[in-house]
Amino acid sequence: MTLFEKIIAREIPADIVHEDETCIAFRDISPQAPTHILVVPKKVIPRVGDAEIEDKETLGHLLLTAGKIAQDEGIAESGFRVAINHGAHGGETVPHLHLHVLGGRPLQWPPG
Ligand code: 5GP
């Protein structure tokens, strides 16, 4: 079971801001910006490069949810970032696909 599956199963507590039949979204335990939320599919896709064509609808749903969360959090107007880390060089630490929604301050580019 991945760490995020344990959050989905309520075995590990998290500050959940959204849940539907396809995904869950909760605040990152180590926020890198005033708003830092993870959007996670309930289906375990390890990382974005492992997604299959059958995951197309799920991937679209995750992006739409990220945009809706940014609206709900009040960071859509000022601007925000959606980031996905794949593999060691990408900075991935949890092998269960997740979108980072970051905002509430100006973000640097490139991210480092
Ligand atoms: P990655 O580095 O894989 O792109 O992102 C994993 C993220 O999960 C990190 O930003 C990390 O802070 C967050 N994280 C790790 N463990 C937990 C946890 O137990 N609860 C929550 N809410 N976030 C976590």
Please report, for the chain, the start and end positions of each structural domain, with discontinuous segments joined by +: 3-103
Nearest CA to ligand 1 atom 19: 29
Best CA proximity match to 84, nearest among 99, 70, 94, 71: 99
Residue 82, strand partner residues: 101
Nearest CA to ligand 1 atom 17: 29
Q: Is the CB of 17 under 6 A from ligand 1?
A: no
From the candidates 18, 61, 86, 98, which is the catalytic residue? 98
CA of residue 80 to ligand 1 center, whole Å: 18
pLDDT in tens, 5-54: 999 999 999 999 999 999 999 999 999 999 999 999 999 999 999 999 99
Mapped onto helix, strand or coil, the DSSP state of residue 101 is strand
pLDDT in tens, 40-50: 999 999 999 99
Separation in Å, CA 94 to CA 3, 30, 80, 91: 7, 13, 22, 9
89 noted as active-site residue? no
Instruction: Give Cα 89 distance to the centre of its chain.
Output: 18
Segment 93-110 shows an average pLDDT of: 98
pTM, full prediction? 0.98
- In CATH, the architecture of 3-103 is 2-Layer Sandwich (3.30)
